[in-house]
Amino acid sequence: MSQPKVDVAIKNACGSVGEGPHWDDASQTLLYVDIKNLDVHRYNPATGEDQVRHLKDTVSLVVPRRAGGYVVGLGRRLSLLEWDTGMVSTIQEVELDSGSRFNDGKCDPKGRLWAGTMGPEVGNAKVEPEAGALYCLDVDRSIEKKVSKVHISNGLAWTDDNKTFYFIDSIPRKVFAYDFDLETGAISNKRTAVEFPPDTLDTYGVPDGMTIDTDGNLWVACYNAGAVYKFDPETGKTLQKIDIPARQTTSVCWGGKNLDELYVTCARVYMSEEEFKTKWPLAGSVFKVTGTGSKGRPAYMYEG
């Protein structure tokens, strides 16, 4: 098998935590966020243009809305962003009077938005334990808590048959699987699909954002490992490792005309200027991986 090719798509795109890549199939653009710089980006690979909207709180996820605009995770709120005007309106707010914030989020095949929170950060990949949760924002804009006592809510994915939902909690370093009911959005029968052994922090890092390919394999961006790993969720085994020349890899999504290009976001935090210049000069960049031999399917948008 030939080695995948890793290119820099947008050099040093993010000054803090690049996250939440979402390929908008309709417009052939890549959406992503810079969490602590409070920015939402919209990148057009055909023209090279990278548009930015600066908001007023941490922005952790961005998903297109069928009726127009984008849903963003803004602090503890899920909000609607009108791109052209920059107008923001709150849809729901959770965990009032807490120091938590939304982190990763994605829509399921019915167009409901699943988004998780995390507690206050106390260090690099360290947070107040079990202070987060996973929520589901339905298309009628009602919100329901699905999972409690989460450390850092992260990657989400659904299988092609819509019967299994995968969810990462970064601190126990596990990818969990649930039985998924597409009609009701109910999840049940929690189990561990992929477990990162305790002595592998240097090689596997901390599981962060995730996507799934058309063969049902999981692709996980591993923070502090400078790598994306491909796993078989049926066996938990590692199938492939792709080295990324930026240590703080955060998330992944499939993009491009054939959905066979893997976009990878990275962070540039807890790093001195010296370390940035000498060791990780591509920190915060967005990378594009080609030649993996795999592909994804179009990402879902919010139908509410």
CB of 151 within 8 A of CB of 172?
yes
48: phi then psi, degrees, rounded to nearest 5: 80, 0
Can you say which residues are annotated as belonging to the binding site? 19, 101, 103, 121, 154, 208
Q: How far apart are CA 175 and CA 177, in angstroms?
A: 7
Indicate if 208 belongs to the active site: yes
**Which of these is catalytic: 208, 213, 215, 232?**
208
Can you say which residues are annotated as belonging to the binding site for substrate? 101, 103, 121
| 278 contacts: CB under 8 Å, gap ≥ 6 | none
Can you say which residues are annotated as belonging to the binding site for a divalent metal cation? 19, 154, 208
The pair of structure tokens assigned to 125 is 């990949």
Residues acting as catalytic residues: 208
